[in-house]
């Protein structure tokens, strides 16, 4: 009889692939530290966020254009409703993103006070990890 923790070989391969893929997507501590140092003086800026999220916003704008075109091309009311739902989701996502930016900027003076900037600088230079630098 199999133990509850036993996994088939194919499930193990899938699990290992998923873990390695997650590692590739995550930013390293050094990258995150450099990111923090870029904001040290003034906090997050709209231009920086737009530059770093250009692909994200390009996809949203592309979907917005498709929904607008589809709205005017569609004859049936249910399709027009779906388009309006998509437009509402887009506006909601923008409101969420800009609200996040506004809150982060407002909280930045406090964040700047509580961060150990020496540790961040060390991590940005590749001198250890957060576990050993603390």
Reading the chain (134 residues) residue by residue, the pLDDT tens digits are: 555 555 555 555 455 545 554 554 567 889 889 988 988 888 888 888 888 889 988 998 998 999 999 999 988 998 899 999 989 998 998 899 899 999 999 999 999 999 999 999 999 998 876 554 44
Beta-strand (E) ranges in the chain?
A: none
Describe the crossing of helices 54-73 and 77-114 by its angle, rounded to 10 degrees. Answer: 160
The per-residue pLDDT for 123 is 92
Q: Which residues contact 119 (CB under 8 A, 6 or more apart)?
A: 130, 133, 134
| Structure confidence at residue 4 (pLDDT) | 52
Task: Evaluate whether 116 touches 130 at the Cβ level (below 8 Å).
Answer: no
- Confidence at residue 72, expressed as pLDDT on a 0 to 100 scale: 92
pTM assigned to the model: 0.60
Q: Is residue 48 part of a domain?
A: yes
In a domain, 9, yes or no: no
Given this model, what pLDDT does residue 114 score?
94
pLDDT value of position 47 = 87
Containing domain of residue 99, as a range? 29-133
* CA atoms of 79 and 85, how far apart (whole Å): 10
CA 77, CA 6: separation in Å to the nearest integer?
52
Residue 13 has what pLDDT?
Answer: 47
Residue 19 lies in a domain: no
Domain count along the chain: 1
Q: Is residue 85 part of a domain?
A: yes
């Amino acid at each position: 009889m199999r133990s509850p923790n036993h996994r088939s070989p194919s499930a193990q391969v899938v699990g290992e692939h998923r873990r390695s893929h997650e590692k590739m997507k995550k930013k390293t501590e050094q990258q995150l530290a450099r990111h923090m140092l870029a904001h040290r003086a003034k906090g997050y800026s709209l231009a920086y966020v737009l530059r770093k999220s250009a692909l994200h916003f390009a996809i949203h704008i592309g979907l917005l254009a498709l929904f607008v075109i589809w709205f005017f091309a569609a004859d049936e009311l249910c399709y027009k409703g779906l388009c309006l739902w998509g437009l509402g989701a887009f506006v909601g996502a923008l409101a969420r993103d800009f609200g996040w930016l506004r809150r982060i900027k407002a909280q930045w003076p406090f964040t700047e006070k509580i961060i150990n900037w020496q540790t961040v600088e060390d991590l940005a230079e590749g001198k250890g990890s957060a576990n050993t630098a603390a």
